Structure 1
Amino acid sequence: MRADEAGWTVFGRGRRVEGISDIAPEAVLLVGAGRSVLLQLAHPAVGHGVARHSGFATDPMRRLQGTLTYIYALTNGTEAQRELVSRRVNAAHGPVRSEPADDGSHPAYSAFDPQLQLWVAATLYESGMGMYERIFSGLEPETAERVYRQYGVLGSALQMPEGLWPATRADFRAYWEDAVAGLRVDETARGVAEVLLRAEKAPWWLRAGMPLARFVTIGLLPETVRSGFGYTWTTGQERRLGMFFGALRCLVRVTPRWIRRAPMGIYLRRADGREA
């Protein structure tokens, strides 16, 4: 029996990946979740929308559970699960809107804005695939393009038109670089990020892991965004981050696939109301 048939990781370019359904279930992608959230907050409209209408900074598990249920249902769930989670997200997004600030500190915001949904989906793709490539081997170009196109469903399942998702990875890279260059981290976003990374009201087991999560999240941010949040980063910290990922790669190498993908099963059961 081959290693992949036994449910163990197969490294190298021979590792079988057909599409997003083979990548999204890997729990190690969650290591990049904090990076994705902070990138979202760095967009002024998203940051102020979250600050005014979301309690995820003080109740991070609720937001994380909702996001994971959405991702797993869209990438690996049934049609009924996909429709259900899309309705739930739309219902939650309904009241999330605001007018622009008189002092110009933030623009108008609506969670139904296709451009903002594009940005959120982009952070999930860029952070998720960045994490995947750190841990596993890179994908063949044709497979990488297919996975990239499939990631667009995270936006198009809501109000983002399919055509708004950049057509190719090269187009996405151009969009990403322009979008990151236009980010502006203000006091509101910094305040939400600090509450989030302290996680003082989170379960004890999550609080216990927050020093490491904070370190990794800050280290993974683009330098301009990291400095915007007021965080510093040294060469020594960069070396320690590299050591962390080296250890993580070793751990993943010896972890059976069914364990690595266990969180997905939990959240898919939650997607249609079954007990985890």
Structure 2
Amino acid sequence: MNSAAKKQVEDPKPSHQPIQTQWAPQSGKEIDAAIPGCIDSVGLLSGVANTIMQLAYPGVGHGVMESRVESGSILHHPIKRARTTLTYLAVAMQGTTEEKLAYRRAINVAHAQVTSTEASPIKYRALDPELQLWVAACLFWGHVDVYEKLRGPMSQADLERFYEYAKPLGTTLQVRPDMWPKDINAFWVYWNENLDRMEMPEDVRDWLLQLVDLSFAGPAVSIPFGRFAKLMTAGFLHPRIRTQMGLKWGDKEQRNFNRIIKLLGAVNNRMPRQLRQLPSSALLWDFRRRLKNGLPLN
């Protein structure tokens, strides 16, 4: 088991730290002008894979599995959970300081309820910044992975620039600015070290398998869409995590995945920015409407 999961996690208080980043908030238009396609909503196809990456980390997986916040359950309210996550991505990447602080407060209310019990195999708390650092790292890695699968390798200059844009993925919540790896090279060290020693708990793996082929949603969804979902999820998983999930992946699966990605890239990369970013733009608009009118944010 990951050494981070073995230790007794302290009971951190919700962060009241200032939101810090080297870059001023950027709009979707400005980010796309700097690095075309880096926040395209086609990344939704990798959503389940990225969720699995996050939950593979001991403590994160058990926290989601055992969560008593039923309204945020992936299995019972997948659309609401997806909306909350995608809204967070939009606010963290494009929101003002005030908007980030508002969403932090809303998320902290839910996260404060996610704690281990005496029956839990390990001790955890959703407000633990170490766990949130891994989740944020997965989100950053996922953005880069989708971009490179659809558009080819990101240049070093663009990678460094995007890394700065993406820092608020962690620091909008409990991750202190000094915890976030200082540059892209330090990030890869953190990323690879954690992957190399990660061993997914068996109960988490078994629970996650129902996400892979959408079996949790019942036959009406899993029968027509399950095979496609499984291919996309396995294809977007990091190979190490895919192996730990026990998912079959050979030349046939790789060819089928590449064929679909090539087609998706050809279509997506020719679409106007407004369409490429439509889901995140709509969710950011809805968040701002809710904030303005004093409505629940998640």
Q: TM-score range by the shorter chain?
A: 0.7 to 0.9
Superposed CA offset, 1:33-79 (max 9, x none): 22211111111211111100052133221211111001101212344
* Equivalent residues in 2 for 1:3-42, closer than 5 Å: 17-18=33-34, 23-24=38-39, 26-42=40-56
- Are 2:257 and 1:241 equivalent residues in the alignment? yes
Alpha-carbon distance, 1:89 to partner: 1.2
- Residues 79 and 171 (structure 1 numbering): CA distance in 2 closer, same or farther, change over 3 Å? closer
Alpha-carbon distance, 1:205 to partner: 7.2
- Residues 203 and 146 (structure 1 numbering): CA distance in 2 closer, same or farther, change over 3 Å? farther
Separation in 1, partners of 2:118, 2:251: 40
Q: TM-score, normalization: structure 1?
A: 0.83
- Are 2:63 and 1:49 equivalent residues in the alignment? yes
Q: Say which of 118, 132, 149 aligns to 1:117.
A: 132
- Are 2:181 and 1:166 equivalent residues in the alignment? yes
- Are 2:87 and 1:69 equivalent residues in the alignment? yes
Q: 1:185 maps to what in 2?
A: 200
> More relative contact order in 1 or in 2 (CA 8 Å, sep 6+)?
1
Unmatched segments (≥5 aa) in structure 1: 1-14
Q: Tell me which amino acid in the other structure corresponds to 1:27.
A: S
Q: 1:98 maps to what in 2?
A: 116
Separation in 2, partners of 1:141, 1:17: 17
Q: Say which of 211, 225, 228 aligns to 2:244.
A: 228
Separation in 1, partners of 2:251, 2:162: 33
Q: 2:280 maps to what in 1?
A: 264
Separation in 1, partners of 2:161, 2:75: 34
Q: 2:14 maps to what in 1?
A: none
Q: Say which of 74, 78, 96 aligns to 1:60.
A: 78
Alpha-carbon distance, 1:203 to partner: 11
Q: Tell me which amino acid in the other structure corresponds to 2:87.
A: T
Separation in 1, partners of 2:103, 2:112: 14
Separation in 1, partners of 2:222, 2:272: 24
Unmatched segments (≥5 aa) in structure 2: 1-30
Q: 2:11 maps to what in 1?
A: none
Separation in 2, partners of 1:87, 1:203: 38
Alpha-carbon distance, 1:29 to partner: 1.9
Separation in 2, partners of 1:237, 1:143: 30
Q: Tell me which amino acid in the other structure corresponds to 1:128.
A: H
Task: Count residues with an aligned counterpart.
Answer: 256
Alignment partner of 2:74: what SS? coil
- Residues 261 and 232 (structure 1 numbering): CA distance in 2 closer, same or farther, change over 3 Å? same
8 Å contact from structure 2 (residues 75, 216) kept in 1: no
Alpha-carbon distance, 1:199 to partner: 5.0
Q: 2:227 maps to what in 1?
A: 211
- Residues 181 and 62 (structure 1 numbering): CA distance in 2 closer, same or farther, change over 3 Å? same
Alignment partner of 1:132: what SS? helix
Q: TM-score, normalization: structure 2?
A: 0.77
**Structure 1 range deviating more: 157-166 or 253-262:** 253-262
Separation in 2, partners of 1:32, 1:146: 22
- Residues 143 and 253 (structure 1 numbering): CA distance in 2 closer, same or farther, change over 3 Å? closer
Q: Tell me which amino acid in the other structure corresponds to 1:132.
A: Y
Superposed CA offset, 1:4-36 (max 9, x none): xxxxxxxxxxx97436x9732x11222222221
Alpha-carbon distance, 1:174 to partner: 1.3
